[in-house]
Chain A
């Protein structure tokens, strides 16, 4: 037996233990593996070069060797009024780290990964990069009373990955967004991120560059009021997510709430593309207008002669460029005065997705042409148009239920005053409101019906060809045909005959009448407009709402 033990001892292979050299500078610990440290050079007794990084020995509080595992990314751990940072030297060359209390700042000229966690009510995580970086927020609870809680700047793309449950907040004294991007960025991950901003005109999430959201469950809340910027002579408002350039939403869940005057859910100065994700937006603030020397936080007067710089309206989604929606689920509610649902200052294009809007003002508005080729769209405008295009409105597909207010507002509104029109070439279309636009161009090839049949929430509108049901539209529960000036209801015959355009008193009950409110000019359709691919021009159809029916001929 002793012989075997001897043989074993002779043959037993040996190996050197991989150890870790730790270099501690204040709250930062740099780690390098013994097998990758190579020769570490001292320079004139002042600095030590390790793995491509140079340390000022006067700032090194301690160096030690242990068996600790080296992380693959920089670790930032907040705790109270401080933060500890662990830097793997081999994967952080080009990065400099500074920690001052709970203020952590990283500047890098090389790609790297950072994982940020812990809790602080006086903290900030700031990163400036010229190269692509990955920043993972993992169970981070970070509040900054006077500045951004997380600030990501530079020119390299930042991948912000959400892991676990995270919460970012800023104080009432903050003039900065709670989560700030000044570099191209993408938010992704499987965790949750709650971002709160309370200061006037503050943004919860703000990007000065292009911003993509592809994952994560993001809850952003802004509660500040509007603010008059006396320097720029402009009224500014809050936004849950804002971008100075383009924004792309391809995934994730967004729950956005803005309660202050002029507050917006999403605001993009460039273009917005939505091709995925679940987006829920609620705004409850009213319109803010600066007049004289005061800012009215709930202006209800006429705004026609007020400069756009001196007013701001609440909006679910406001985009200066174009909006392209090709997927995802969007649900917008605006309840404050002047609140529009979705607005593009250029063109709006919907090819897929599910969109539901219940708005105080226009539900969906575009300053230029509107294109709808797909998707499931239900919009209710309490005091204005359901779908409002200031150019042509091209509908070639999709299912559309658009409810607008009384004349001169409507469910479907193209800018007929400027010679534009609705152009139907496909789609299942229902427009309900005072003066639905009707096609005036030969380019519109899909026939349509108009009717003044009354509709109310919960009913199902059927369009029949004899006994065959061609289509059914369910009237959404948010639709009101007579309440608070919202919705459409047919006019009394006397009004129609006299050509009056004034809506009837809100308290008057809906009545069944031939013809709805006539609009200015003669091209508008009745209170109900339907267009289906199966309609044949000149043929008569029946519209029923369960208890009433009305005949109409396709045009």
Chain B
């Protein structure tokens, strides 16, 4: 029992035992909506009036004119940006070649072979890695 207590003590005091929580970069839009993106590896570029946002999992575009602010948050305030379950999607390869059309993103994820894809619904684009 002493050994177990000692081991737990070590875990508490050791930095390596701490669990790292990812941050989110959360945008507040002029319509009051908030959108959070996992900040790890997040990249943003300005293209015309749009802010192109991407990381390993997501690719999105936000109108710069609709942006009020952005801030780091410890939680995804609107959830990580996802395509609505009921939306149909068109899937493209990272080279831009059309792979197929699916009734939902969930069906696409189950159907597609391992790889990275762009899933595009009527109003959102996200990057998806199928493992």
Residues of chain B lying within 8 A (CB to CB) of residue A15: 18-21
List which B61-118 residues lie within 8 A (CB) of chain A. Answer: 63-72, 74
Residues of chain A lying within 8 A (CB to CB) of residue B12: 11, 13
Q: How far does the alpha carbon of A39 sit from the alpha carbon of B4 in the complex, in Å?
A: 44
Residues of chain B lying within 8 A (CB to CB) of residue A19: 23, 39-40, 72
- Interface SS, A side: mixed
Set A7, A17, A38, A44: member contacting B22, Cβ < 8 A: A17
Is B45 within 8 A of A42, CB to CB? no
Among B8, B11, B20, B72: residue with most chain A CB under 10 A: B72
Is B67 within 8 A of A42, CB to CB? yes
Is B17 within 8 A of A40, CB to CB? no
- A35 beta carbon closer than 8 Å to chain B: yes
Task: Looking at the assembled complex, report how far the CB atom of B104 sits from the nearest CB atom of chain A, in whole angstroms.
Answer: 30
Known: A4-B4, A63-B44. A45 touches B18 (CB 8 A): no
Residues of chain A lying within 8 A (CB to CB) of residue B42: 64-65
Residues of chain A lying within 8 A (CB to CB) of residue B44: 62-64
Set B18, B41, B45, B74: member contacting A12, Cβ < 8 A: B18
Q: Which of A53-61, A191-199, A386-394, A401-409 lies at the interface with chain B?
A: A53-61
List which A1-26 residues lie within 8 A (CB) of chain B. Answer: 4, 7-8, 11-17, 19, 21
Is A8 within 8 A of B71, CB to CB? no
Q: How far does the alpha carbon of A451 sit from the alpha carbon of B39 in the complex, in Å?
A: 90
Is B71 within 8 A of A39, CB to CB? yes
Task: Looking at the assembled complex, report how far the CB atom of A526 sits from the nearest CB atom of chain B, in whole angstroms.
Answer: 83
Is A45 within 8 A of B8, CB to CB? no
Task: Looking at the assembled complex, report how far the CB atom of A509 sits from the nearest CB atom of chain B, in whole angstroms.
Answer: 85
Is A63 within 8 A of B43, CB to CB? yes
Task: Looking at the assembled complex, report how far the CB atom of A168 sits from the nearest CB atom of chain B, in whole angstroms.
Answer: 37
Is B46 within 8 A of A60, CB to CB? yes
Q: How far does the alpha carbon of A34 sit from the alpha carbon of B37 in the complex, in Å?
A: 14
Q: How far does the alpha carbon of A535 sit from the alpha carbon of B65 in the complex, in Å?
A: 94
Is B20 within 8 A of A14, CB to CB? yes
- A37 beta carbon closer than 8 Å to chain B: yes
Is B69 within 8 A of A65, CB to CB? no
Is A45 within 8 A of B72, CB to CB? no
List which B1-42 residues lie within 8 A (CB) of chain A. Answer: 4, 7-8, 11-12, 17-23, 25, 39-42
Is B64 within 8 A of A57, CB to CB? yes
Interface size for chain A: under 10, 10 to 19, 20 to 34, or 35 or more residues?
20 to 34
Is B69 within 8 A of A42, CB to CB? yes
Q: How far does the alpha carbon of A34 sit from the alpha carbon of B25 in the complex, in Å?
A: 9
Set B19, B67, B70: member contacting A13, Cβ < 8 A: B19
Known: A38-B71, A45-B67. A65 touches B40 (CB 8 A): yes
Is A40 within 8 A of B21, CB to CB? no
Residues of chain A lying within 8 A (CB to CB) of residue B4: 4
- A41 beta carbon closer than 8 Å to chain B: yes
Task: Looking at the assembled complex, report how far the CB atom of B72 sits from the nearest CB atom of chain A, in whole angstroms.
Answer: 4
Q: How far does the alpha carbon of A76 sit from the alpha carbon of B68 in the complex, in Å?
A: 33
- Interface SS, B side: mixed
Residues of chain B lying within 8 A (CB to CB) of residue A12: 11, 17-19
Q: Which residue of B lies closest to A9 (CB)?
A: B19
Residues of chain A lying within 8 A (CB to CB) of residue B22: 16-17
Task: Looking at the assembled complex, report how far the CB atom of B57 sits from the nearest CB atom of chain A, in whole angstroms.
Answer: 14
Task: Looking at the assembled complex, report how far the CB atom of B46 sits from the nearest CB atom of chain A, in whole angstroms.
Answer: 5
Residues of chain B lying within 8 A (CB to CB) of residue A45: 49, 63-67
Set A16, A21, A38, A66: member contacting B41, Cβ < 8 A: A66
Q: How far does the alpha carbon of A250 sit from the alpha carbon of B4 in the complex, in Å?
A: 63
Residues of chain A lying within 8 A (CB to CB) of residue B70: 39-40, 42
Residues of chain B lying within 8 A (CB to CB) of residue A64: 41-44
Q: Which residue of B lies closest to A33 (CB)?
A: B72
Set B20, B39, B45, B66: member contacting A65, Cβ < 8 A: B39
Is B71 within 8 A of A42, CB to CB? no
Is A16 within 8 A of B68, CB to CB? no
Q: Which residue of B lies closest to A50 (CB)?
A: B70
Known: A16-B74, A19-B72, A34-B72. A42 touches B43 (CB 8 A): no
Q: How far does the alpha carbon of A111 sit from the alpha carbon of B42 in the complex, in Å?
A: 32
Q: Which residue of A lies closest to B15 (CB)?
A: A15
Task: Looking at the assembled complex, report how far the CB atom of A488 sits from the nearest CB atom of chain B, in whole angstroms.
Answer: 78
Is B8 within 8 A of A7, CB to CB? yes
Residues of chain B lying within 8 A (CB to CB) of residue A39: 69-71
Residues of chain A lying within 8 A (CB to CB) of residue B41: 64-66
Residues of chain B lying within 8 A (CB to CB) of residue A61: 45-46
Is A40 within 8 A of B69, CB to CB? yes
Task: Looking at the assembled complex, report how far the CB atom of A354 sits from the nearest CB atom of chain B, in whole angstroms.
Answer: 56
Is A42 within 8 A of B64, CB to CB? yes
Residues of chain B lying within 8 A (CB to CB) of residue A62: 43-45
Residues of chain A lying within 8 A (CB to CB) of residue B43: 62-65
Q: Which residue of B lies closest to A63 (CB)?
A: B44
Q: How far does the alpha carbon of A39 sit from the alpha carbon of B67 in the complex, in Å?
A: 12
Q: List 28 A-B contacts (CB under 8 A).
A: A4-B4, A4-B8, A11-B8, A11-B11, A12-B17, A14-B20, A15-B21, A19-B39, A21-B72, A35-B72, A37-B72, A39-B70, A39-B71, A40-B69, A41-B68, A42-B70, A45-B49, A45-B64, A58-B46, A60-B46, A62-B44, A62-B45, A63-B44, A64-B41, A64-B42, A65-B23, A65-B39, A65-B41
Residues of B within 8 A of A (CB): 4, 7-8, 11-12, 17-23, 25, 39-46, 49, 63-72, 74
Known: A11-B12, A39-B70, A45-B65. 17 other contacts (CB 8 A): A4-B7, A4-B8, A12-B11, A12-B19, A14-B19, A14-B21, A16-B21, A21-B25, A40-B69, A41-B69, A42-B64, A42-B67, A45-B49, A61-B45, A61-B46, A62-B45, A65-B40
| 4 nearest A-B pairs in the assembled complex, by CB-CB distance | A45-B65, A34-B72, A42-B67, A63-B44
